[in-house]
A and B are shown apart, each in its own frame.
Chain A
Amino acid sequence: MAIDLDLCTGCGDCALACAQENNMPVFEDDSDLPKRVQFLDLMKVSNDRDAAYPDVEVCYIPKMCQQCEGNDPKNPKPPCVSVCPVVATDVGDDGIVSQIWSRCIGCRYCQASCPYEARAFNWWKPRYEGDFKKSLNPDVSVASRGTVVKCQFCSHIWKRERDRAVAGGELDINAVTYTPACVAACPTRAMVFGDLDDPGSELSRLLSREKKRTFRLIHTIDEMKEKDEKKWKAMMQAKNYPNPKVYYLTSKAWIKEMMKFK
């Protein structure tokens, strides 16, 4: 997935569509953090807290699970998978990190090990306000209390689209395309979703075209590639190197600076 931060207006449609699609309650007052369970966080960042009007710049960063790969693509081991004692989280054949809530024992090791705080813990049974319960998505099971949940790039939509493709006679599973709820909801088309392994996909072409603007949330390590390739390779071999699959695009230098691991 690629997210163009220059196009993002911070409207929050992605977060809302995600909550609606994945049966997570939406509250009018979202300030109660433990109660809130969200896969997609819309972070507001500013270049300088104390800056006055003409110099202040604001950017919104949609942050979800980065579907890390780890340092070995053949045997993907993201930081959260290697710590799970009950194999509730695993990397699928499509590269998406799955989280099965019925297997989860709620130890929250994965939440602690996630460098992006992309995982959420269900402290309580979800409580739906108003008419929300009538519009629940039958494809997504509601996770029980005491389990960890996370974004899976709407893998239920992928399964649904796979069914539709097979019914239409298409048996090649790599030809199946789908759009996650957040990408479908984005009004400015700032989010692009596709197959990173396929060089012909819209996503791969965008990333190869916009190499200068692209960064990931492990910017310090990626940056080392140009400076010192030997050191970069050593850093990549470090244990728990996340190697995320979500790319951000921006033309502003201060955002890149801010997103570095410091």
Chain B
Amino acid sequence: MKRTVLLIGIPFIVALYFTFVISQKACDRVMANHPEKPIDFNHQSHLLTYFPDNGLSKDDCGACHDYYDNGRFKGLPTVGDCTSCHDPNGPVTGAPASTPRRKPFLSGYKDTDKPWGSHARQPDLVYFSHKVVMTATFEDGRKKQRCSNCHGDKAGSTNTAMLKGKMLMGQCEDCHTALHISNKCAVCHD
């Protein structure tokens, strides 16, 4: 009896363990969003070093992540947005530390190209409007929402790793409930 347990039970448990590990990895690969990140972009150095030297506030996310005229969020900046500071004809080395230098990587792309993907993507059936959420204010003028509430401490990050996991519907609903905003389905879905 003991031998049967040893011969069948232990290999079964070991096989089960590896099956779980493999399937979890596979599920993670399929479900999670793995965008292409060719540049190890350093948010912290941009915000703390270059922004104050160029007359921008250090929490001015809109300098790169802006809106279109009709209120649509542009998302990640294009190569053209990068080269507006990183002058394509400027020096690669030797300039003062506060001056953006030329990045040879960017010269291989057109101005409208966007060679990087985003971690933060909503499914097709969700209509999320950055403009509406970021414009909402309390009576005393304070903003109801800040970028970091959903995106985490992106401003302090030094690489392109994912800071927070998937944004689940419950997180949206928690804020809506706390701020007395309607939680009806059609507010976000269509």
By a beta-carbon cutoff of 8 Å, the part of chain A in contact with chain B is: 87-88, 90-94, 96, 98, 100-103, 139-142, 152, 155-156, 159-160, 162-168, 171
In the bound complex, how far is the Cα of B182 from the Cα of A141, in angstroms? 22
In the bound complex, how far is the Cα of B186 from the Cα of A159, in angstroms? 10
Which residue in A96, A141, A168 is a CB contact (below 8 Å) of B124?
A141
B186 close to A90 (CB less than 8 A): yes
A102 close to B71 (CB less than 8 A): no
- Closest Cβ of chain A: how far from B62's Cβ, in Å? 13
- Closest Cβ of chain A: how far from B171's Cβ, in Å? 17
In the bound complex, how far is the Cα of B17 from the Cα of A184, in angstroms? 59
Q: Does B176 contact A (CB under 8 A)?
A: no
Main secondary structure of the interface of B (DSSP, over half): loop
A-chain residues with CB within 8 Å of residue B129 when the two chains form the complex: 159, 162-163, 166
Known: A98-B184, A141-B125. A167 touches B189 (CB 8 A): no
Q: When A and B form their complex, which 7 residue pairs have the shortest distance between CB atoms, in order from nearest?
A: A167-B71, A163-B71, A98-B186, A141-B124, A92-B186, A141-B125, A156-B190
Can you list 10 pairs linking A and B with CB atoms under 8 Å apart? A94-B186, A96-B186, A98-B185, A98-B189, A100-B185, A100-B189, A152-B190, A156-B127, A165-B71, A167-B71
How many pairs of residues, A versus B, come closer than 8 Å at their CB atoms?
70
A139 close to B127 (CB less than 8 A): yes
Q: Does B135 contact A (CB under 8 A)?
A: yes
In the bound complex, how far is the Cα of B103 from the Cα of A238, in angstroms? 72
Q: Does B131 contact A (CB under 8 A)?
A: yes
- Contact residues on B (Cβ < 8 Å of other chain), bracket: 20 to 34
Of the listed residues B71, B131, B135, B186, the one surrounded by the most CB atoms of chain A closer than 10 A to its CB is B186
In the bound complex, how far is the Cα of B68 from the Cα of A160, in angstroms? 12
